Chain A
Amino acid sequence: MKKQKRVGLEGSFAVAEAVRMANADVISAYPITPQTHIVERLSEMVADRKLDAEFICVESEHSAMSACVGASAAGARVFTCSAGQGLELMHEVLYIPSSMRLPVVAVVANRALSAPLSVWCDHSDAMAVRDIGWIQMFAENNQQAFDLTLCAYRVAEDREVLFPAMVHIDGFYLSHVIEDLVLPDEEEVAGFLPDYEHPFALDPAKPVSMGCYAPPFIYPETKKAQVVAFEGTRPKILEVWKEFGEVFGRDYAPVEEYKMEGARVALLTMGSCSETAMLAVDELRAEGGDGAEATTGLVRLRLWRPFPFKEFREAVKDLEVLVVLDRAVSFGMGGPVCSEVRSALYGCEEAERPKIVSFIAGLGGRDIRVEEFKFMIRQALKEKAEEKAEEKAEEKAEEKAEEKAERGEEIEAEMIGVRE
Chain B
Amino acid sequence: MSGGELGWRDLEVGFVVTEPGNAAAYKTGDWRSEKPVRENEKCIKCGICFIYCPEACIEETEDGFFEANLFYCKGCGICAHECPRAVITMVEEAEE
B contacts, CB < 8 Å to A: 2-4, 6-18, 20, 22-23
A contacts, CB < 8 Å to B: 99-102, 162, 199-200, 207-214, 217-218, 220-222, 224-225, 228-229
Q: How far is the CB of A104 from the nearest CB of chain B, in Å? A: 12
What 6 A-B pairs have minimum CB-CB distances, sorted nearest first? A101-B14, A224-B8, A209-B17, A221-B8, A207-B20, A100-B14
Given A207-B20, A209-B20, A217-B2, A228 contacting B8 (CB threshold 8 A)? yes
Q: How far is the CB of B29 from the nearest CB of chain A, in Å? A: 14
Which residue on A lies nearest to B12, using beta carbons? A200
Q: Determine if B17 and A222 form an interchain contact, defined as CB atoms under 8 angstroms apart.
A: no
Contact sample, A vs B, 10 pairs, CB 8 Å cutoff: A100-B14, A200-B16, A208-B17, A208-B20, A209-B16, A210-B14, A210-B16, A218-B4, A221-B6, A225-B8
* Across-interface contacts of A213 in B (CB, < 8 A): 23
Which residue on A lies nearest to B17, using beta carbons? A209
In the assembly, what is the distance between CA of A220 and CA of B8, in Å?
8
In the assembly, what is the distance between CA of A165 and CA of B9, in Å?
24
Given A209-B20, A225-B9, A217 contacting B14 (CB threshold 8 A)? no
Q: How far is the CB of A146 from the nearest CB of chain B, in Å? A: 29
* Across-interface contacts of B20 in A (CB, < 8 A): 207-209
In the assembly, what is the distance between CA of A390 and CA of B15, in Å?
56
In the assembly, what is the distance between CA of A364 and CA of B64, in Å?
72
Contacting B3 at CB < 8 Å: which of A99, A218, A220, A224? A218
Q: Of residues B10, B14, B20, which shows the largest number of chain A Cβ atoms within 10 Å of its Cβ?
A: B14
* Across-interface contacts of B15 in A (CB, < 8 A): 99-100, 211-212, 214, 222, 225
In the assembly, what is the distance between CA of A214 and CA of B9, in Å?
16
Which residue on A lies nearest to B10, using beta carbons? A221
In the assembly, what is the distance between CA of A220 and CA of B4, in Å?
11
Q: Determine if B7 and A221 form an interchain contact, defined as CB atoms under 8 angstroms apart.
A: yes
In the assembly, what is the distance between CA of A162 and CA of B22, in Å?
25
Q: Determine if B8 and A208 form an interchain contact, defined as CB atoms under 8 angstroms apart.
A: no
Q: Determine if A208 and B11 form an interchain contact, defined as CB atoms under 8 angstroms apart.
A: no
Q: Determine if A102 and B7 form an interchain contact, defined as CB atoms under 8 angstroms apart.
A: no
Q: What 14 new A-B contacts, CB under 8 Å, besides A200-B18, A208-B17, A221-B7?
A: A99-B15, A162-B14, A200-B12, A200-B14, A207-B20, A208-B16, A210-B14, A210-B17, A211-B15, A212-B15, A218-B4, A218-B6, A221-B11, A222-B15
Which residue on A lies nearest to B5, using beta carbons? A217
In the assembly, what is the distance between CA of A229 and CA of B15, in Å?
12
Which residue on A lies nearest to B11, using beta carbons? A225
In the assembly, what is the distance between CA of A102 and CA of B8, in Å?
19
Which residue on B lies nearest to A101, using beta carbons? B14
Q: How far is the CB of B40 from the nearest CB of chain A, in Å? A: 35
* Across-interface contacts of A214 in B (CB, < 8 A): 15
Which residue on A lies nearest to B4, using beta carbons? A217
In the assembly, what is the distance between CA of A29 and CA of B2, in Å?
39
In the assembly, what is the distance between CA of A220 and CA of B18, in Å?
19
Q: Determine if B9 and A208 form an interchain contact, defined as CB atoms under 8 angstroms apart.
A: no
* Across-interface contacts of B8 in A (CB, < 8 A): 220-222, 224-225, 228
